Amino acid sequence: MLPTIGSLTSISWFPFSDKPVIQSLWYMPRLCDPFFLFPEDSPDGKWHLFGHTWVGIEHFTSENGISWQPRKMIELRGHSPSIFRQDGMWYLLYEKHDASFVSLKKRLRGKRGEKNKSSRFEIRSSSDLIIFSEPKVILDSKDVPFAGDGLKKPRISRPQLFRDKEGYRLYFGASHVVLSDTKQKATRHFALAMSSSLEGPYALANESDPLLSADPDDPYRNMACGSIKVLQASDGYVGFECAMHWDKSRAKTTSSLLQIESSDGLLWKPSFRSVVLPTPERGWASRYIVSCDLHYKSAEGCWYCYYSANTYSRFPFVRESIGLLLGKDPSLRKVFH
């Protein structure tokens, strides 16, 4: 059963631990964009979590959702994985960049590959989350007019797929900004494409304009939209946004995990609730909260929200790990007179 927008607004969130549940390692210093499945939603009765590093998409499994073991890399140079389930099949969506090869002779002369290459969304199917089909492109950044805003080559990111009575909705990020004080990349626009078929073709739903962009008058989104995780509700859609803004008191850019909502999935507005999670001043998540994924576990009456956040380690390196928030409906307290 889908939650209502109002029920999500009343959830109380608290961190499972002051440490990440999946710590970044030397060979994957930045583990980003988690997407997870409960045991009841997976083919083998285990917890599954997907994320990406600088190398590609990594797959983790767990018996309890707390202790995670790396399984294998799924897609070299893949970014921002998500899973869509339909008719007994699991569909892996992700952003893909082509490799940029430069000969050794040119490298010795100081020439490097092109950093800002265009990207696309690919989809692969699986019946067991082990063997996946060959990829198929469902949307190319070159077909999104605003995906190249501020960039040499267009880019789309963080695909999320939903099905409703009208067909399929593909929410995604487009273009990015580079925050001047830290050089952190953050998604510039939030957009939607729609299709009557799972594998497309997908067409923009908002007359070639994004649904949301950075707003200089918004206290939380004045630098960039950042990542937005979308949930279907019975009366609309809810987004959990890792928005980027300028913190005047600390004279630096920062982030906040906040809630937005929409009755039709097109027009979005801030939720009435307070910020779900501000960036802490110290610790493993003290630089930016970057992305999240959340689902409701009915057997426990609890929401699980895995999120990626980063901090500085040894300059100039940045470490990004995955933490866990738990959400509960607040219980009514009895008042005795």
How far is 155 from 166, CA to CA, in rounded Å?
A: 27
Per this entry, what is the length of the chain?
A: 337
**Amino acid (1-letter code) at residue 108:** L
How far is 213 from 205, CA to CA, in rounded Å?
A: 15
The ranges assigned to domains in the chain are 5-328
At 148, phi and psi to the nearest 5?
-100, 10
Virtual CA dihedral for 212, 217, 185, 136, nearest 10 degrees? 0
How far is 247 from 47, CA to CA, in rounded Å?
A: 37
Residues of the chain with pLDDT under 70: 27, 99-116, 314-316, 331-337
How far is 32 from 51, CA to CA, in rounded Å?
A: 6
pTM: 0.92
Residue 180: both structure tokens together: 């001047």
CB atoms within 10 A of CB 233: 19
> 308, 315, 317, 314: which is closest to 23 by C-alpha?
308
Residue 226's alpha-carbon distances to 89, 164, 244, 290, in angstroms, are 30, 25, 6, 7
**DSSP assigned state of 280:** P
- Per-residue pLDDT tens digits for 207-263: 779 999 999 999 999 999 999 999 999 999 999 999 999 999 989 999 999 999 999
Topology (CATH level 3) of domain 5-328: Tachylectin-2; Chain A (2.115.10)
pLDDT at 206: 81
Residue 300: both structure tokens together: 């426990």
CB 149 within 8 A of CB 189: yes
* DSSP annotation string for 210-222: -SEE--TT-SSSS
Residues 6+ apart with CB under 8 A from 285: 20, 279, 309, 310, 311, 321, 323
How far is 337 from 236, CA to CA, in rounded Å?
A: 41
CB 246 within 8 A of CB 214: no
CB 289 within 8 A of CB 306: no
> 234, 280, 231: which is closest to 257 by C-alpha?
280
CB 291 within 8 A of CB 308: yes
CB 255 within 8 A of CB 286: no
**Amino acid (1-letter code) at residue 47:** W
How far is 97 from 75, CA to CA, in rounded Å?
A: 11
